[in-house]
Each structure stands twice: as structure tokens, then as C-alpha cells.
């Protein structure tokens, strides 16, 4: 397929304009030009319905990014939007709390195993930062052990390669351990005896937990007098109604939620044991928009829908078709050395590997060029939504079939350099 040279014309123009007033041209790193290669990518979306979105050049896509996994029911879900419209009639933010706060809190307590009390934030980072602060307050300890991605705040990002601007003193309190490697966590406890306030981790992202790993983390954490926090920003309300903690049957002391809570409306939550959550009565965790009602009404409608419709079941069953289809296509095109698929069916990852000739970044960039031009929006993940119908999955697999055939040819002929119409992405900062 010869790409239409004007396909992203307006995206390109608007990006240039945005860059004059907005650093990186985007509010979110993962939606910026760092992830979407110049000239072969859309940069702005104007509308979405179900799992379909339209960019500023009016190109249509089946979206497998789904607002970075925040949209679990689909864009413009009628039940959620009706709840938001009804709330809008009454008002958005008031001078005192609105009862919808407690309604959503009660719902979360009913659904999530560890949840006895709940506080709300706007982004996942609010909830993770709140979790760490109350864990520190509760234990009187400063150090933190982490595994996974936990947002933009100093306490976490300081321990990554994106640590510019974070004081060294803060960086030194956060220690990374490796998933499925209990010894790496044990080493942190040994190095900082009696000083680790909490262990905060994504219960799962790309890799499956080996049997007993999550239980071992829980036990080691508790044996060291520390608090276990599951960061369920993505897994919550996706893997199971009660999150990954219900799915894996390992209950943490605290858990954080975000993305799937309100179908794209800005809301996050920190939930957990009453004795720890009561620290919030002294610890300062307070913001003007914490009780904003439109997002809370959206959350209530989303969580209700999870109970009355087979949402979670559908994320898994449709995701399974994706994962099995992709596996089959990787084998069909003999691309095992360049591609792999991992994760759970409801949240899977196409993984790119270095080959003898090309880096994974070159291969990924070429893949993006080809799938974007065919109307599939993915940056490697398949963040399933309730709106993905069979036809959408068929379309994804038909595009992958074409693109994998081209990729195989390019790898064999070693002509990726001439077929790639942009500079390859660079490994700036890999979240996972």
C-alpha cells in the first residue's frame, strides 16, 4: 500500500502550532510525539464512538489504545453519558461534598476485597502518592519498594531514568525490585531493616506472576512490618470486578485505582484497610476537585454497568480472540524472532524484539507506520473495551496479517531503512 502523503497533513500542522504553546504538544507523555513518529502518525483526535475514533484529518481508526486503557466501556457510552448529563443539570463542583462521593465509595467497598474506606483523586498519580504518604504516616518509616509504573510524582519517578527535577534526597528513598524475583525485594528489606514503609506494585502487567509470587510478596511485606499496596490503576475494574486482587486472590492492605473507574472521566481512588485509611484524617490529601461530581456520576454508572452487563467477561473473551489471532499470525509469517505477544487477554502487549539487523525501535516504528495507515490505533498494546465487536477484531487481524507479511519481507530483504518514512522512535523512557 502506498501511503497517502497528505493523510496526516492537518495533524502535522496542528502539532507544529501546539508545540509553540504546549511543551511536547500534549498533556500526556504517552500521547505525545515521543510515542508517535513524525509524519506517519495522527496527533489529534476529534471524536470517538464505541471503539472508533476520528483524527483531525478525518481518518477513522479502530482504537486499541482507548485513552491509555481509561475507556473500558467504549467512547460515548450511553449509560455513562446519561448519568453525567443528569448530574450536569444539578451542578459540577460545590462548596460541600455531594452524596455521590459516598455512593461511589460504598460501591467500591462492596466490589473490591481490600476496600474498607475510600478517598478520591483525579489521576492515578494522586492515588499512588496518597498511598505512599499514608503508609509512611502509619509506619513512621520513609523508604519505599516499588515494582511497575506508578505515575509522575517525585516519590516514584525519581527512581527512574526520568528523574530530572527530583531532589536526590527523595530519589534515595525509593528502591526498585524485579517482578517475579522475591529475592530482589528481600534484599531491599535487608538493606533497610525496619525502614520500609510500603511495597507498592502493579499486581501484573506484561508478565504472569509465577505461582506463589504475589503471596510471597504479601507475606514478606507483612513479616517486615510493612504495608502492601497494589497499584490497580490499570488492572482495577478490568481483570475482575474486584481487580487483580480478586483475580489472583491476594488481598493487599491498600489499593489504587484510576483508568477503568469512570470510563474516561477523570477519577482515581485509594482504598484499603480502615486503620490505615484513617491516617487521612491527619495526613494532608486534599484538592479542590477531589469531589467533582460529573466524574463520580460517571464512576457510579460505570461500576453499575460492570455489575449488570458482562463487561469484564467481554474484555476477556474479545481479548482472547486478539491474542490467539496475533499468535497465529506471528507463526504464519514466521516472525517469532521479531514479535511476541504477552499479558492477559483483557490487556495484551505486542512486544518487539531486536533482530540481527534491526533494533526493536526500528521494527516498532515501521509497524506503527503500517498499522496507522490502515486505520488501526495501537502503540503495541491491546487495551480491550466492551465496545470491541467481532468486526473490529477481524479488522485488526486483517491489518496485522497484511502488515506482518510486509514486515517479514522487509526483514528478509533488509530494506527497512528505505521503507521507513520517518526517523525511528528512540528509547526515551519505557514505562513498561
Distance, in Å, from the CA atom of 329 to the CA atom of 336, rounded to the nearest integer, reads 10
Q: Which of 8, 61, 120, 149 binds ligand PLP (CB under 6 A)?
A: 149
Q: Which of 32, 72, 128, 373 binds ligand PLP (CB under 6 A)?
A: 128
Closest to ligand PLP by CB, 258 or 319: 258
Residue 2 DSSP code: P
Distance, in Å, from the CA atom of 105 to the CA atom of 91, rounded to the nearest integer, reads 20
φ, ψ of residue 121 to 5 degrees: the values are: -135, -165
> Does 378 contact ligand PLP by CB under 6 A?
no
User: Taking each helix axis from N to C terminus, what angle separates 311-332 and 293-308, rounded to the nearest 10 degrees?
Assistant: 80
Closest to ligand PLP by CB, 150 or 175: 150
Q: Which of 107, 133, 138, 150 binds ligand PLP (CB under 6 A)?
A: 150
Q: Where are the alpha helices (DSSP H) in 45-158?
A: 66-69, 78-90, 100-111, 124-139, 154-157
Stretch that binds ligand PLP, among 11-19, 142-150, 333-341, 361-369 (CB under 6 A): 142-150
Closest to ligand PLP by CB, 11 or 26: 26
Closest to ligand PLP by CB, 128 or 293: 128
Residue with the shortest CB distance to ligand PLP: 124
Q: Which of 151, 236, 290, 380 binds ligand PLP (CB under 6 A)?
A: 151
Closest to ligand PLP by CB, 77 or 232: 232
Closest to ligand PLP by CB, 345 or 383: 383
Shortest gap between Cβ of 68 and ligand PLP (angstroms)? 6
Number of other CB atoms surrounding residue 99 within 10 Å: 9
Distance, in Å, from the CA atom of 175 to the CA atom of 173, rounded to the nearest integer, reads 7
> Does 258 contact ligand PLP by CB under 6 A?
yes
Distance, in Å, from the CA atom of 152 to the CA atom of 82, rounded to the nearest integer, reads 32
CB burial class (10 A; 0-12, 13-18, 19+) of residue 205? Answer: buried
> Does 292 contact ligand PLP by CB under 6 A?
no
Strand bridging mode 117-121 / 347-352: unpaired
Closest to ligand PLP by CB, 200 or 371: 200
User: Which residues have C-beta within 8 Å of that of residue 166, sequence separation ≥ 6?
Assistant: 154, 157, 158
Closest to ligand PLP by CB, 151 or 252: 151
Question: Binding to ligand PLP (CB under 6 A): which residues in 50-69?
Answer: 68
The DSSP H or E segment spanning 146 is strand 143-147
Question: Binding to ligand PLP (CB under 6 A): which residues in 311-340?
Answer: none
> Does 124 contact ligand PLP by CB under 6 A?
yes
Question: Binding to ligand PLP (CB under 6 A): which residues in 198-257?
Answer: 202, 231, 233-234
**C-alpha separations of 37 from 21, 236, 289, 383 in Å:** 20, 30, 35, 20
Shortest gap between Cβ of 150 and ligand PLP (angstroms)? 5
φ, ψ of residue 286 to 5 degrees: the values are: -155, 130
CB 153, CB 163: distance < 8 Å: no
Closest to ligand PLP by CB, 66 or 123: 123
Radius of gyration of the chain (CA): 22
Shortest gap between Cβ of 121 and ligand PLP (angstroms)? 9
Q: Which of 66, 123, 345, 348 binds ligand PLP (CB under 6 A)?
A: 123
Stretch that binds ligand PLP, among 121-129, 219-227, 292-300, 387-395 (CB under 6 A): 121-129
Shortest gap between Cβ of 279 and ligand PLP (angstroms)? 20
- Provide the grid cell at 319: 481479548
CB 65, CB 378: distance < 8 Å: yes
Question: From edge to edge, which strands make up the β-sheet containing 339-344?
Answer: 339-344, 347-352, 381-383
> Does 148 contact ligand PLP by CB under 6 A?
yes
Closest to ligand PLP by CB, 261 or 399: 261
Shortest gap between Cβ of 202 and ligand PLP (angstroms)? 5
Q: For ligand PLP, how many residues bind (rule: CB under 6 A)?
A: 14
Distance, in Å, from the CA atom of 327 to the CA atom of 319, rounded to the nearest integer, reads 12
Closest to ligand PLP by CB, 54 or 289: 289
Distance, in Å, from the CA atom of 170 to the CA atom of 148, rounded to the nearest integer, reads 18
> Does 26 contact ligand PLP by CB under 6 A?
no
Residue 144 exposure: Cα atoms within 13 Å on the Cβ side = 28
Shortest gap between Cβ of 153 and ligand PLP (angstroms)? 8
CB 138, CB 198: distance < 8 Å: no
Stretch that binds ligand PLP, among 37-45, 144-152, 157-165, 321-329 (CB under 6 A): 144-152
Chain positions contacting ligand PLP, by CB under 6 A: 68, 123-125, 128, 148-151, 202, 231, 233-234, 258
Amino acid at each position: 500500500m502506498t501511503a497517502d502523503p497528505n493523510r496526516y497533513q492537518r495533524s502535522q500542522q496542528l502539532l507544529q502550532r501546539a508545540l509553540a504553546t504546549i511543551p511536547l504538544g500534549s498533556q500526556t507523555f504517552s500521547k505525545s510525539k515521543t510515542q508517535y513518529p513524525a509524519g506517519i502518525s495522527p496527533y489529534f483526535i476529534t471524536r470517538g464512538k464505541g471503539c472508533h475514533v476520528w483524527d483531525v484529518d478525518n481518518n477513522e481508526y479502530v482504537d486499541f489504545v482507548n485513552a491509555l486503557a481509561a475507556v473500558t466501556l467504549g467512547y460515548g457510552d450511553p449509560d455513562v453519558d446519561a448519568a453525567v448529563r443528569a448530574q450536569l443539570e444539578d451542578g459540577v463542583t460545590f462548596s460541600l461534598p455531594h452524596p455521590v462521593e459516598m455512593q461511589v465509595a460504598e460501591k467500591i467497598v462492596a466490589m473490591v476485597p481490600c476496600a474498607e474506606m475510600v478517598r478520591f483523586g483525579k489521576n492515578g498519580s494522586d492515588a499512588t502518592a496518597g498511598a505512599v504518604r499514608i503508609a509512611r504516616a502509619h509506619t513512621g518509616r520513609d523508604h519505599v519498594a516499588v515494582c511497575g509504573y506508578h505515575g509522575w510524582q517525585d516519590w516514584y519517578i525519581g527512581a527512574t531514568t526520568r528523574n530530572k527535577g527530583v531532589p536526590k534526597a527523595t530519589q534515595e528513598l525509593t528502591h526498585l525490585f524485579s517482578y517475579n524475583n522475591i529475592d530482589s525485594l528481600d534484599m531491599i528489606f535487608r538493606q533497610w531493616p525496619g525502614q520500609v514503609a510500603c511495597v507498592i506494585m502493579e499486581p501484573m502487567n506484561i508478565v504472569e506472576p509465577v505461582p506463589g509470587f504475589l503471596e510471597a510478596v504479601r507475606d514478606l511485606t507483612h513479616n517486615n512490618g510493612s504495608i502492601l499496596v497494589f497499584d490497580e490503576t490499570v488492572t482495577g475494574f478490568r481483570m475482575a470486578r474486584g481487580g487483580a486482587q480478586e483475580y489472583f486472590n491476594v488481598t493487599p492492605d491498600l489499593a489504587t485505582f484510576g483508568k477503568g473507574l469512570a470510563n474516561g472521566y477523570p477519577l482515581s481512588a485509594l482504598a484499603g484497610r480502615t486503620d490505615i485509611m484513617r491516617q487521612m484524617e491527619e495526613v494532608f490529601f486534599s484538592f479542590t476537585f477531589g469531589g467533582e461530581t460529573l466524574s463520580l456520576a460517571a464512576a457510579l454508572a460505570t461500576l453499575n454497568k460492570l455489575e449488570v452487563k458482562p463487561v469484564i467477561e467481554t474484555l476477556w473473551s474479545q481479548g482472547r480472540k486478539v491474542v490467539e489471532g496475533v499468535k497465529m499470525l506471528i507463526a504464519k509469517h514466521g516472525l517469532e524472532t521479531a514479535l511476541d505477544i504477552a499479558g492477559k487477554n483483557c490487556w495484551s502487549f505486542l512486544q518487539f524484539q531486536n533482530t540481527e539487523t534491526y533494533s526493536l525501535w526500528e521494527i516498532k516504528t515501521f509497524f506503527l507506520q503500517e498499522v496507522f495507515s490502515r486505520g488501526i490505533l495501537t502503540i503495541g498494546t491491546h487495551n480491550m473495551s466492551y465496545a470491541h465487536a467481532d468486526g473490529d477484531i477481524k479488522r485488526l487481524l486483517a491489518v496485522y496479517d497484511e502488515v506482518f507479511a510486509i514486515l517479514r519481507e522487509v526483514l528478509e530483504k533488509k530494506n527497512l531503512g528505505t521503507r521507513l518514512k520517518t526517523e525511528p522512535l528512540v528509547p526515551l523512557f519505557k514505562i513498561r
